[in-house]
Amino acid sequence: MSRIAYVNGAYVPMSDAYVHIEDRGYQFADGVYEGITVASGKLIDLEPHLDRLERSLRELQIAMPMGRRAMTFVFKETVRRNRLANAFLYIQVTRGVAKRDHPFPANSSSTLVVTARRLDLAAVKSRASIGINVSSQPDIRWGRCDVKSISLLPNILAKQAAREAGGFEAVMYDKDGYVTEGSSTNIWMVTKDGTLVTRSTDDNILPGITRATLMQMAKDLQMQVETRAFKVEEAKSAAEMFLTSSTSCTMPIVKFDDTVIGGGTPGPAATRLAEAYWAYIEG
């Protein structure tokens, strides 16, 4: 069966899924996106994802293409038509089609594209049992990283540099050497006394949905959580590190550049949280 996409009111085969050449997403990266994990047919953390989508659109003064109930129907129908149980659902909204000009067009309709592809959750879980390597990369992104913009070229460059260095993910750091976030993830460390530390979302980082879910789980498990900045050097001396995202869930980090973290195996805090999160999405 060919994959099906939703494009501006129509469900079409991927081979026929197109947007106009003057769509502002294509010409200016004038749009936002969301990515939602689907597990056993359930859209994980749907409402928080919709909240973040609406916020990003408000910040860029882009109109919601439809109401939340209608959009939720489109999401579920896209998954159904692709006959997927476990999937990554990608949603993109742009300002729409208009003559190429930098100011906002006076009249344009938002473009909505939704796609779904199979997500191998078993492979994610297997990778988490071993852990991953990461590479430090300078953060050269724009000053509104709280908006989930489709303008991702700095993230792409960081991710590619990390892959060329043998890392699964890039851990980005600012001009003062403080860790900001991953190229497509949020970064955590665990101190020697067992405190979980991740950077505050007030510091111009994306408010990760999985990050927020894990933070609540950690508190429910009576684990100490601290939101503050930390430098690359502190992270390399931490007892544990891990990252969170919709597609990586909770992923232990066992090597940071040339530094082995936690003896090179997933630590107890990351493992405990991973087990809680898998129970959450599978339950």
**Residues with catalytic roles:** 148
Count of CB atoms situated within 10 Å of the CB of 174? 17
Both structure tokens of 113: 């594209």
Task: Assign residue 197 a region (left: φ > 0; alpha: ψ between -120 and 50; beta: otherwise).
Answer: beta
Rg (CA), the chain: 19
Q: Which residues pair with 252 in a beta bridge?
A: 242
Both structure tokens of 199: 């950077």
Phi, psi of 178 (to 5 degrees): -90, 140
- Separation of CA 281 from chain center: 16
Both structure tokens of 135: 């590479």
To 10 degrees, the CA torsion angle through 195, 199, 201, 205? -150
- Separation of CA 77 from chain center: 22
Q: Quick one: which of 236, 215, 226 has its CA closest to 171?
A: 236
With DSSP H G I counted as helix, E B as strand and the rest as coil, what are the percentages for the chain, rounded to 5? Answer: 35, 30, 35
Q: Which are the contacts of 216, defined by CB distance < 8 A and separation ≥ 6? A: none
- Residue 83 DSSP label: T
Strands 225-227 and 169-173, by their bridges, are unpaired
Both structure tokens of 224: 């100490």
